């Protein structure tokens, strides 16, 4: 007997032990009857044959007791028979036996007994879409203490699910592409993409990306001087157009959503089942968690990894398209309830089971949509190992608190119509950030006396409604004030 992998569909060969063949009707009693025979596989559920191969699995000149390797034939074998099993299995698990037959005679020797578990587990993913930029709906229940339903107009949407994920992540936010630098000196040299709010992440998907794929090395804007990127970047589509950022952030989002149970568990442990070499490393057989980790290294440690030539950027671009298909493999449009989503009523009303213990107006999760067999398309495969990997959350920014307050020069500058304003806080502070014209009139308020944590921060300024000219931006806290000039050119 030989125990075989539980998933017939993923198993293409097995070593079997041939012991004593049954005499049966006497046809196979002598050594001569064991020579030059073609052996086939038959699978039975209980005593009923449900699948039988017609191609040779093993052909030997002398079938003596010992070890033999059974390999899938060209057209019929383990995989096809496994599909037949799947179609006949109605219970969660079914015991199957398999025997071999030779030519027209059935041999009663059983090769293996296997407990087959149908693949009924489904996954769910987000995909790169402007649907994510829709404002999240907060849920409100009628007659909460009496178990009333949702108040009309407060049904959740897909962005509500995203907000729920960020509530689970916490106020510190998380890194979604690249490697967070814990050393302040290194953070000035290397960049990574991170978000504290789902609405900020969604800005990366306001429109499809068609720009070339690059690591997190420098900002490339036509007609502008390139700038080296560093520290935590809350990337948006208005400033960055990069296909590998678009799909790499989405892969991290899908892995983290699965790890935090906002979508079904286990997405990060699925195996990459496509032959593809990414910057010198073959990815087939790696888990999506491992693929994510390798991509993060390429994005931030591009100098060490040697990502610095056109051929490398083209390789990243091809991989971005493959990631796009993976990210979309388990996607379906959002709907309330049924087999599509689940609202945690107690979490909305009472905060029961929520990370903060407080009411969560976004307590909705996505339910599974497709199995790997249905959605993988040859790109993914279930991981049958006993130990699955866990996603390791990278916090948002540099763990070292800045030693002083500072206000950075906006970039790009001059700009049209958007620019990024960065600043650092050495302590929790009430922050105000305003824009003024040349005669001192206030034209925009970006932050109004808002309490903000220590660390690095970045704010996007959209000057679409303003005229070309010189403007000033002023940062004010209890302990620090600074003003810098910027130029809007339309």
User: Could you report the per-residue pLDDT of 256-285, keeping only the tens digit for each?
Assistant: 999 888 999 889 888 999 999 999 999 998
Q: Return the half-sphere exposure (C-beta side, CA atoms, 13 A cut-off) of residue 450.
A: 12
Neighbours of 154 (CB within 10 A): 15
User: How many Å apart are CA 488 and CA 89, to the nearest integer?
Assistant: 67
Q: Note the pLDDT of residue 397.
A: 55
Q: 156, 296 in Cβ contact below 8 A?
A: no
- In DSSP notation, 457-486 reads EEEEEE-TTSPSEEEEEEEE-SS-EEEEEE
Greatest CA separation for the chain: 108
pTM, rounded to two decimals: 0.62
Q: Note the pLDDT of residue 266.
A: 86
Name the packing angle between helices 310-327 and 243-259 (round to 10°).
40
What letter would DSSP give residue 411? Answer: B
Which of the residue ranges 36-40, 93-97, 154-158, 449-453 has the most confident prediction, judged by mean pLDDT? 154-158
Q: Note the pLDDT of residue 68.
A: 41
Q: CA 448 → CA 70, 250, 429, 451, distances in Å?
A: 71, 31, 12, 9
- In DSSP notation, 175-210 reads EEES----SHHHHTT-EEEEESSHHHHHGGGSS---
H-type alpha helices, 350-391: 372-375
Q: 316, 198 in Cβ contact below 8 A?
A: no
User: How many Å apart are CA 202 and CA 206, to the nearest integer?
Assistant: 7
Which of the residue ranges 100-114, 331-345, 399-413 has the most confident prediction, judged by mean pLDDT? 331-345
**In which band, very low, low, confident or very high, does the pLDDT at 209 lie, cut at 50, 70 and 90?**
very high
- In DSSP notation, 28-88 reads T-SGGGGSSEEEEEEEEETTEEEEE--S-SEEES---SEEEEEE--SSSSHHHHHHHHHHH
User: Could you report the per-residue pLDDT of 145-184, keeping only the tens digit for each?
Assistant: 556 688 899 999 999 999 999 999 998 899 999 999 888 8
Residue 362 region by backbone torsions, left for phi larger than 0, else alpha for psi between -120 and 50, else beta: alpha
Q: Note the pLDDT of residue 75.
A: 35
* Residues in Cβ contact with 465 at an 8 Å cutoff, skipping those fewer than 6 apart: none
Q: Note the pLDDT of residue 414.
A: 86
- Which residue bears the tokens 């929520």? 354
**In which band, very low, low, confident or very high, does the pLDDT at 452 lie, cut at 50, 70 and 90?**
confident
Q: Note the pLDDT of residue 78.
A: 37
**In which band, very low, low, confident or very high, does the pLDDT at 63 lie, cut at 50, 70 and 90?**
very low
**In which band, very low, low, confident or very high, does the pLDDT at 137 lie, cut at 50, 70 and 90?**
very high
Q: 297, 278 in Cβ contact below 8 A?
A: no
* Residues in Cβ contact with 298 at an 8 Å cutoff, skipping those fewer than 6 apart: 215, 278, 279, 305, 307, 316
Which is more confidently placed, 392 or 414? 414
State percent of the chain over pLDDT 70.
69
Which is more confidently placed, 346 or 125? 125
Using alpha carbons, select from 444, 456, 452, 453 the residue that is nearest to residue 486.
Answer: 444
State which H helix or E strand residue 449 sits in: strand 442-452
Q: 203, 240 in Cβ contact below 8 A?
A: no
Neighbours of 359 (CB within 10 A): 16
Q: Return the half-sphere exposure (C-beta side, CA atoms, 13 A cut-off) of residue 372.
A: 22
What letter would DSSP give residue 261? Answer: T
User: Could you report the per-residue pLDDT of 107-133, keeping only the tens digit for each?
Assistant: 333 333 333 444 567 899 999 999 999
Q: Note the pLDDT of residue 43.
A: 53
Name the 3-class secondary structure at 318: helix
Q: Is the pLDDT of residue 416 over 90?
A: no
User: Could you report the per-residue pLDDT of 296-312, keeping only the tens digit for each?
Assistant: 999 999 998 999 999 99
User: Could you report the per-residue pLDDT of 6-56, keeping only the tens digit for each?
Assistant: 333 333 333 333 333 333 333 333 333 333 344 445 555 555 555 555 444
User: How many Å apart are CA 271 and CA 286, to the nearest integer?
Assistant: 6
Q: Note the pLDDT of residue 415.
A: 85
Name the 3-class secondary structure at 448: strand
């Amino acid at each position: 007997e030989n125990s075989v992998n539980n998933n017939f569909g993923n198993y293409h060969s097995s070593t079997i032990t041939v012991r004593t063949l049954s005499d049966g009707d006497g046809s196979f009693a002598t050594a001569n009857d064991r020579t030059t025979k073609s052996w086939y596989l038959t699978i039975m559920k209980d005593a009923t044959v449900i699948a039988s191969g017609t191609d040779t699995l093993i052909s030997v000149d002398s079938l003596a007791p010992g070890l033999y390797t059974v390999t899938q034939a060209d057209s019929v074998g383990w995989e096809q028979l496994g599909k037949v099993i799947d179609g006949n299995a109605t219970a969660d698990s079914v015991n199957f036996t398999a025997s071999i037959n030779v030519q027209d005679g059935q041999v009663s020797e059983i090769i293996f007994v296997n407990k087959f578990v149908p693949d009924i587990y489904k996954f769910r993913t987000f995909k790169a879409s402007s649907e994510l930029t829709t404002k999240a709906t907060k849920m409100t229940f009628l007659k909460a203490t009496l178990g009333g339903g949702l108040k009309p107009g407060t049904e959740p949407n897909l962005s509500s699910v995203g907000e729920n994920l960020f509530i689970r992540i916490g106020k510190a936010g998380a890194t979604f592409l690249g490697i967070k630098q814990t050393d302040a000196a290194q953070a000035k040299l290397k960049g990574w993409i991170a978000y504290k709010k789902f609405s900020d992440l969604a800005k990366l998907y306001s429109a499809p990306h068609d720009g070339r794929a690059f690591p997190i090395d420098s900002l490339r804007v036509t007609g502008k001087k390139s700038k080296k990127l560093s520290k935590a970047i809350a990337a948006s589509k208005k400033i960055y157009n990069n296909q590998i950022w678009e799909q790499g952030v989405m892969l991290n989002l899908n892995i983290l959503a699965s790890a935090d149970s906002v979508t079904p568990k286990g997405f990060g442990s699925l195996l990459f089942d496509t032959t593809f070499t990414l910057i010198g490393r073959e990815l087939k057989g790696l888990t999506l968690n491992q693929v994510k980790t390798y991509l993060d290294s390429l994005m931030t440690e591009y100098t060490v990894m040697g990502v610095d030539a056109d051929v490398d950027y083209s390789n990243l671009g091809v991989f971005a398209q493959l990631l796009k298909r993976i990210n979309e493999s388990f996607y379906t449009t959002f709907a309330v309830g049924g087999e599509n989503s689940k609202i945690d009523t107690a979490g909305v009303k009472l905060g029961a089971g929520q990370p903060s213990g407080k009411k969560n107006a976004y307590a909705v999760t996505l339910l599974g949509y497709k199995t790997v067999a249905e959605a993988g398309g040859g790109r993914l495969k279930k991981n049958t190992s006993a130990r699955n990997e866990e996603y390791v959350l990278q916090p948002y920014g540099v763990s070292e608190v800045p030693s002083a307050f500072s206000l950075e020069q906006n970039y790009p500058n001059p700009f049209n119509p958007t620019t990024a304003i960065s600043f650092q806080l050495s302590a929790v502070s009430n922050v105000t950030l305003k824009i003024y014209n040349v005669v001192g009139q206030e034209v925009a308020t970006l932050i109004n006396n808002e309490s903000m944590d220590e660390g690095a921060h970045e704010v996007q300024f959209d000057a679409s409604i303003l005229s070309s000219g010189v403007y000033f931006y002023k940062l004010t806290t209890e302990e620090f004030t600074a003003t810098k000039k910027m130029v809007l050119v339309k």
